[in-house]
Structure 1
């Protein structure tokens, strides 16, 4: 399976630029400055696989393209190559810089794995000759394009060997432009060249292609890469069955929306969720869906790595049992689900792990496959039935949702008798220690507002599966406002609802699925508790403001 299994690492080391006073332009040319930035970065970020701060244009530059450098931005192509050069990496200044940084990393972190970052022949061809020109040439001038690809492949092979000789342990190749190829053209213009590139190294290799690669997964596997790095837009649950067990699934926390833009607690929560789904796979490595932007907060990067490693360690002793449970539920085997839940309980596996990485994983995988049109409603219903059968064996272990005053009110709106989605939200909320009042189905606005007044809850979830039910949402939400309950956060979800519908009806949020709904509710309750604490201790709030 190779040495990538079980590793935790973000792709590249670009946030390291924050740790030196020099700009990215200077870092790109100075081995001492780049080494200082990268070493400081990995002294803080305890990653299992180390990169050397690479940019995407380095091979195109060596082949003759003109590059624009700036202190506060990554290098980019300013002009395509007028003449194609066949470079020798040891004589290319910036390639030699990266080799020197790899040697420094080997000296400072001798027990860590180090990686190349080589760019695929098709991507480099696009930078050398112009991306649109290359894409057009796949149809109107394929022979000439293949001549160019032979040259960019030669450069990639020479550069890859040079970095491996400098101390890299992993041959990592990124080929983002190839994502724009039609699947039937991927082998001819990208896959075959990548296969020849990976053939130079018998050790661990990885291929990353940005964007939605669902149509070319088999082509990526045929390159011979021993690990496939998936973009953050890919739902790993939907594609995992297409990846053989001897190939590592690498991914795929969102580097921008999550790691760069969220706070440390949110990064940890998103990381924990990804691990709960994928950590039971024997061929999984936890990483980001692409390179982290240079501006990513260091605390967030550290949170990702630390939380990821901790969660994987907690899950590891139970991974095989939980994987068996998840597979049984996903087959729709109700009796088998109940039997396995009892078995894993006897082995003292925590109830939340049983739900998250066993039962709920199966349902979320069904949801992902349904979204990709890989399965249909009859199969989903059987999976949900198996989920419930297993969950019944756990109900006595999860009593937080049944004792005390409710914190959340849920219900399917009037005229709608569908309850699967709502029930999944309730179960997940209860599994996470929240108290829920479930009003059931066919609930009118008066029952919702009555429950809110009776229990003083601050969050209401409205579910609508049908188009007719969707029309009820705005009226129910207006009723809350008219009755002086504007402080209540109202979330909507269900098959008939979208983010646009949520905005149009005046909801405070939209839960695309049960997992997203639970995260939103957790955040609302957390903010509510913080607000209550401020009111209880106004002097503390005043001191913070001052």
Structure 2
């Protein structure tokens, strides 16, 4: 099923899709550790967000380390899990790695959360995977990987072949659990040139897309403006763009059937402003994007855990009000 069909099923002008998970722990009085290790806890948090904020698309918690941890990399828990060592420095190191069994790793937490969301919430359910290049950067180290794209590209392609297999396996598990779409996260790709993106990101993103029956959205953090054209040349059906991107300008230069997603700032707006300001910023973006046929209002990236939940409420309410031609900046529910 294509992404346009998925979003049209809701028969709404625009769908609210904030990338939000961690702020919900305040609603369930749980911890980050509990949510990242227990699918029941995580589902209850996502359910609480859904009931309080009323988004149209829900996501599990974003955790870029879960695949790397499943491969045996050392991590530490702060605001979320972080990879602390990057052990793959040679083909010999790479050959020591094996694809893990999902049910023996924390990946199962997110797969089971997606299944619970699909079975219990009247919403579109998205999933997350670390893109092949970003997972490779966690295995090798982002600086070493960048250098090797120039000095030892064959090594990079070997690593990327492995990380693509990992991405496909995890995405297919989420698809089987009921995910309606997959957001493929490639924050490490923002530093690449367009040609390097094509060689080391685009071709592997395409391999993931080819192995799935559900649509893929590509998310690149930061200023990805120089990469937009190459992103559109991949098989993804949506682009999730960060807050530094001018969405209106991008909308003029992408295919009409490319779904654009974003891009309220998760920090400068969602975290730092009050609910009325969030509402106004969201409404302004909605009005600015009026002409693009397939636009999903969202945040530019994952919303920080200490974001006031009333700001997420205000974001979603602005979308509902836009759909019904109401303007209420006081954010009364």
TM over 0.5: yes
Q: State the partner residue of 2:23.
A: 15
**CA deviation map 1:456-487 (0-9, x unaligned):** xxxxxxxxxxxxxxxxxxxxxxxxxxxxxxxx
Among candidates 276, 298, 301, match of residue 290 of structure 1: 301
Q: State the partner residue of 1:259.
A: 270
CA contact (8 A) 2:70 2:105 kept: no
Q: State the partner residue of 2:158.
A: 147
**Does 1:171 find its partner at 2:171?**
no
**Does 1:4 find its partner at 2:7?**
yes
**Distance change in 2, residues 1:163/1:89 (3 Å):** farther
SS at match of 1:149: helix
**CA deviation map 1:321-344 (0-9, x unaligned):** xxxxxxxxxxxxxxxxxxxxxxxx
Displacement, 1:89?
A: 4.4
Q: Quick one: distance in 2 between partners of 1:18 and 1:261?
A: 17
Q: State the partner residue of 1:204.
A: 215
Q: State the partner residue of 1:331.
A: none
- Count of residue correspondences: 313
Among candidates 154, 167, 171, match of residue 160 of structure 1: 171
Q: Residues 232-311 of structure 1 correspond to what in structure 2 (within 5 A)?
A: 232-311=243-322
CA contact (8 A) 1:99 1:166 kept: yes
Among candidates 84, 87, 102, match of residue 114 of structure 2: 102
**Does 1:65 find its partner at 2:73?**
yes
SS at match of 1:309: helix
Displacement, 1:238?
A: 1.7
Q: State the partner residue of 1:426.
A: none
The structure number with the bigger radius of gyration is 1
Among candidates 81, 92, 96, match of residue 104 of structure 2: 92
**CA deviation map 1:269-297 (0-9, x unaligned):** 11111011003321211111111111111
SS at match of 2:106: helix
Q: Using structure 2 for the length normalisation, give the TM-score.
A: 0.89
SS at match of 1:116: strand
**CA deviation map 1:93-119 (0-9, x unaligned):** 21111111112112221x311111011
SS at match of 1:27: helix
SS at match of 2:127: coil
Q: State the partner residue of 2:37.
A: 29
**Distance change in 2, residues 1:269/1:199 (3 Å):** same
Q: Quick one: distance in 1 between partners of 2:236 and 2:101?
A: 23
SS at match of 1:232: coil
- The structure where helix makes up a greater share of residues is 1
Q: Quick one: distance in 2 between partners of 1:203 and 1:30?
A: 26
Q: Quick one: distance in 2 between partners of 1:97 and 1:81?
A: 25
CA contact (8 A) 1:7 1:286 kept: yes
Report which structure shows greater RCO (CA 8 Å, sep ≥6).
2
Q: State the partner residue of 1:119.
A: 130
Q: Quick one: distance in 1 between partners of 2:324 and 2:102?
A: 41
CA contact (8 A) 1:2 1:204 kept: no
**CA deviation map 1:381-417 (0-9, x unaligned):** xxxxxxxxxxxxxxxxxxxxxxxxxxxxxxxxxxxxx
Q: Residues 488-507 of structure 1 correspond to what in structure 2 (within 5 A)?
A: none
**Does 1:77 find its partner at 2:83?**
yes
Q: Quick one: distance in 2 between partners of 1:43 and 1:154?
A: 36
Displacement, 1:2?
A: 3.1
Q: Quick one: distance in 2 between partners of 1:263 and 1:12?
A: 17
Q: Quick one: distance in 2 between partners of 1:103 and 1:249?
A: 26
CA contact (8 A) 1:89 1:95 kept: no
CA contact (8 A) 1:153 1:197 kept: yes
Displacement, 1:86?
A: 2.5
CA contact (8 A) 2:241 2:261 kept: yes
Ranges of 4+ aligned residues in structure 1 off by more than 4 Å? none
Q: Quick one: distance in 2 between partners of 1:312 and 1:199?
A: 34
CA contact (8 A) 1:175 1:210 kept: yes
Gaps of 5+ in 2: 9-13, 328-333
Q: Quick one: distance in 1 between partners of 2:34 and 2:295?
A: 36
CA contact (8 A) 1:272 1:311 kept: yes
Q: RMSD over aligned Cα, in angstroms?
A: 1.7
Displacement, 1:314?
A: 2.1
Q: State the partner residue of 2:46.
A: 38
**Does 1:47 find its partner at 2:50?**
no
**CA deviation map 1:326-383 (0-9, x unaligned):** xxxxxxxxxxxxxxxxxxxxxxxxxxx9xxxxxxxxxxxxxxxxxxxxxxxxxxxxxx
Q: Quick one: distance in 2 between partners of 1:268 and 1:219?
A: 33
